[in-house]
Each structure stands twice: as C-alpha cells, then as structure tokens.
C-alpha cells in the first residue's frame, strides 16, 4: 500500500539523520576508551601479607598523622581545614575509611609514590613536589611495612558505608555538591591555585556526563581528559558504584518517578491511537 511505502521513506530518512547526528557524531567526537579497570593493573598487586597490629605501629611511626586525621580512632586532624588547605593547597583526607573505599594495591602504591599512583606526574616534579611525600620506609622491608599499613587501614575501616559518606571522603575535599548543600572543605582560592581551576560542582554531572563516562573518568581521569589536574581517585568497584549512585540521586532525583510514569502515558497514547483508528475506520467506511 502506498501509505506504508511513504511511511517507510519517512522513517528511513528520519533514522538516517538521527544516526548521523547522534550515535555517529558522538563516536567521532568522543572516541571509545577502555572500560574502568578496578584491578589497577599498572600498579601491580600486593605481594606481601600485611599484619594490622604491626601496621598500627608502622602507621604511627611513619608520620602519617602529621597531616592526616583518623577520626574513628580518636585522632583528629592536626590542622583545621583552612590552615591545612593553605599549607597543602587542598585539605588532606581523614583516613578512617580509606581501607574501605580504596583498592588495596592503589593504597600501597600511593604510599610509596603518590604522584605516580594518582597519575599526576605531569603536574609535579623535582621543583614542584606533591604535597604528600613518598614513604621511604622505616628501615625494614619497605613492601612489608606498606602492606602492614594497608592492613591496618583496612582493619579500622567501617564495614558499611553509603554513597554520601564515600563522597565526603573521596570527593568533597575538592568538589561541591551544591544541590545537596555539600561544599568543598578546602579554601576555594588556594584550591584554584593548586588545581589550576576551581574543580566543578558535581550536582548535575550525572546529566552532563552520564554513568558510563563517570565510571571511566573517576577510575582514571587521564583516559577521558588527557592532561587534567584531577588525580586518579582509586576507589574500589563497590565504593565507586556507591558514589555514582549518590551523584545520580542528587542530580536526577526524579528518575524513578520518570520511569514509573513513562509506561502509563505511553500506554494511554497507545489506547488513544487504537480508539482513534477504530473511529476513523467507522467514519471513512461510507466514503470509499
């Protein structure tokens, strides 16, 4: 029938335009990158078995608490946020939950060589040192000492965390989440100096970037945005999923309502179309 032929032509050209301006254009503008790697293969695996008890001592002796707080163990941060960010550019993280949210080989690599593990070696060098000094060990086997520290951090970490708590520990030192009234703990001006620009507010990131992009980006920012000053975050898979769903709950909080109403309205229009068709057939019957 003629109408179907015409409909076919209209649909063909509509889909062709759609393909051209959406999937095809995006494939050209944003080349495909490898998916997130939660094993952090480039950092190797942890060879030694750490002991949390020894780790606690190593942790104290290594000078970590010179900068970091561990609130859950009754060790507050040595400086308030304002003076800490003035001295370091950004406030140093509290380590209470580090063992829970970061991958263990990432933590180990970070302690050994921060700029390398964070993938910010393009920003820091001999003359401009990373604010966290590398740990050269207390004299015994370095890898064993680091494994002990990691084991200690894991032993004190909370077993259960929600997305917002992960956000606080992993993101909030630099980023705002305006739509949830969460603001960076660092001083904005020194932070801008430290990072090059003020890190963006994350409220609408879920709509501007989407889950897939965020998942790859947080795991390794350099893959999506070469040269960015944002460090690799090093979250393990569970924590990253939690923080992304927190970003989604904040930026797209009507998603569930949208998805619940959708089928109802589409169903309504389907019935509308069927009734309209029956009415049309009735009216046109006497015309042909």
List of residues contacting other proteins (CB under 8 A):
2-3, 6-7, 10, 13-14, 16-18, 20-22, 24-25, 28-29, 178-179, 200-201, 203-204, 207-210, 253-254, 257-259, 261-262, 265-266, 269-270, 272-277, 279-280, 283-284, 286-288
182 beta partners: 177
Contact assessment for residue 225 and residue 149, using Cβ atoms and an 8 Å cutoff: no
Please identify, using beta-carbon distances, which residue of 143 and 180 lies nearer to other proteins.
180
How many Å apart are CA 284 and CA 286, to the nearest integer?
Answer: 5
Q: How far is the CB of 197 from other proteins (least distance, A)?
A: 8
Q: Is 217 helix (H, G, I), strand (E, B) or coil?
A: helix
How many Å apart are CA 143 and CA 135, to the nearest integer?
Answer: 11
Q: How far is the CB of 20 from other proteins (least distance, A)?
A: 3
How many Å apart are CA 276 and CA 91, to the nearest integer?
Answer: 64
Please identify, using beta-carbon distances, which residue of 136 and 179 lies nearer to other proteins.
179
Please identify, using beta-carbon distances, which residue of 41 and 258 lies nearer to other proteins.
258
Please identify, using beta-carbon distances, which residue of 159 and 258 lies nearer to other proteins.
258
Give the Å distances, CA to CA, from 31 to 23, 45, 223, 232, 249: 11, 30, 10, 20, 28
Q: How far is the CB of 214 from other proteins (least distance, A)?
A: 12
Q: How far is the CB of 27 from other proteins (least distance, A)?
A: 10
Q: Which single residue is written with the structure tokens 């040192």? A: 129
Please identify, using beta-carbon distances, which residue of 4 and 160 lies nearer to other proteins.
4
Q: How far is the CB of 38 from other proteins (least distance, A)?
A: 25
Q: What is the DSSP letter of 102?
A: B
């Amino acid at each position: 029938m003629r109408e179907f032929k015409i409909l076919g032509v209209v649909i063909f050209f509509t889909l062709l335009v759609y393909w051209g301006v959406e999937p095809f254009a995006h494939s050209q503008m944003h080349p495909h990158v490898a998916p997130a790697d939660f094993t952090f293969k480039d950092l190797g695996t942890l060879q030694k078995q750490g002991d949390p008890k020894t780790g606690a001592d190593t942790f104290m002796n290594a000078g970590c608490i010179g900068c970091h707080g561990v609130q859950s163990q009754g060790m507050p941060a040595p400086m308030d946020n304002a003076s800490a960010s003035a001295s370091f550019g950004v406030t140093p993280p509290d380590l209470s939950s580090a063992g829970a949210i970061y991958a263990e080989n990432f933590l180990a690599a970070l302690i050994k060589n921060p700029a390398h593990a964070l993938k910010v070696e393009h920003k820091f060098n001999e003359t401009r040192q990373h604010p966290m000094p590398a740990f050269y060990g207390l004299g015994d086997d370095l890898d064993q000492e680091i494994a002990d520290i990691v084991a200690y951090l894991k032993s004190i970490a909370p077993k259960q965390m929600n997305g917002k708590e992960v956000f606080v520990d992993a993101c909030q030192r630099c980023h705002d989440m305006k739509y949830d009234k969460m603001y960076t703990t660092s001083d904005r001006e020194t932070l801008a100096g430290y990072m090059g620009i003020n890190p963006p507010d994350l409220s609408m990131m879920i709509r501007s970037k989407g889950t897939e992009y965020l998942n790859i980006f947080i795991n390794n920012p350099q893959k999506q945005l070469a040269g960015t000053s944002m460090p690799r975050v090093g979250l393990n898979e569970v924590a990253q999923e939690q923080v992304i769903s927190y970003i989604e709950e904040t930026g797209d909080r009507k998603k569930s309502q949208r998805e619940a109403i959708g089928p109802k309205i589409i169903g309504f229009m389907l019935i509308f179309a069927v009734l309209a068709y029956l009415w049309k057939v009735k009216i046109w019957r006497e015309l042909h």
